[in-house]
Amino acid sequence: MQSRCAAPKVRRPSLRVRRGPSAQSQLWDSLREVEDQETRVYHPQMNGLVEFLTIVGLVEAAFLVLNVVYAIYLWGSGIAPVLLRLGNGLATRKIAIFASGDNLTSLKALLVGSRLFKSRNIFEVPQARDIECAEGASIYLVYWPDWAANIDDILRHKPDSCALIVYQPYDQGRIPEEQMKQLDGKRHTAVTNFRGRLLNDIVTSIITTSYEKE
């Protein structure tokens, strides 16, 4: 029989060994602490630099917007009206050609062939008795050899706002001095010796005389 006075069994507590942080973990923790310290030191300076660069970028963007607006203003106040007047002039302005025979046919073909002028906007005035056919034209194109004797009739009939372009071929002599002075006394008058200059003079006349029509 087992003795009742036997000592009871005592449970021994289990010992769990807690391992400390490894050397690698300690190294990473140290690096993080160093990085946090550097961030705390340099972060205010970086913020100031970023803010400065942001302000500079905003100023540059504002200047760019102002330049675009100014360019649009210049286009709208200067170039656009000229192009509008030129377009309207090419589409609606009437041109009277003072010439006869083949010269008349050649000059009309020059204008129509440029595709700048429409045939219905070109009036033909072959002789002095047909000068009334130029009524309503805003540009007179005169072939000098055919109309030298009747230039006075053209000048009397020409409105002050009407452009006069005199074409005197270089190989057919010069316009007399007295008549050159007479032409020079009229507004919007040009004299050319080159056929290639006619279109340029006509386009220029359309732009300049369109301002006086307003």
**Residue given tokens 């010796």 in the structure block:** 193
Which among 92, 108, 129 is the end of a domain?
92
Say how far apart CA 167 and CA 191 lie, in whole Å: 6
Instruction: For residue 112, give Cα distances in angstroms to 32, 177, 189.
Output: 85, 33, 22
Are residue 87 and residue 193 in the same domain, yes or no? Answer: no
When pLDDT is averaged across residues 89-96 and rounded to a whole number, the result is 78
Q: Is residue 199 part of a domain?
A: yes
* Nearest of 133, 185, 178, 145 to residue 164 by alpha carbon: 185
Same-domain check for residues 168 and 182: yes
pLDDT digits (tens, 9 = 90+) for 102-148: 999 999 999 999 888 889 999 999 998 999 999 889 899 999 999 99
Residue 38 forms part of a structural domain = no
How many domains are contained in the chain? 2
Are 161 and 209 a contacting pair, CB within 8 Å? yes
Token digits for 74?
């210049």
Task: Quote the pLDDT of residue 122.
Answer: 93
- Can you name the residues that pair with 123 across neighbouring β-strands? 96
| Co-location of 58 and 127 in the same domain | no
Q: With pLDDT > 90 as the criterion, what percentage of the chain qualifies? A: 34
User: How far apart are the C-alpha atoms of 169 and 61, rounded to whole Å?
Assistant: 57
- State the residue range of the domain holding 151: 94-212
Rounded Cα distance between 32 and 34, Å, is 5
Task: Please check whether residues 100 and 185 belong to one and the same domain.
Answer: yes
19-57 per-position pLDDT tens digit: 555 666 666 666 666 555 555 544 555 667 777 778 888
pLDDT of residue 51: 78
* Rounded Cα distance, 161 and 181, in Å: 19
**pLDDT on residue 176:** 92
59, 123: one domain:
no
Token pair listed for 203: 């386009």
> How far, rounded to the nearest angstrom, does the alpha carbon of residue 179 sit from its chain's CA centroid?
42
Looking at the fold, whether 104 and 88 belong to one and the same domain comes out as no
Q: Is 168 inside any structural domain?
A: yes
The predicted model scores a pTM of: 0.61
For the chain, give the mean pLDDT: 79
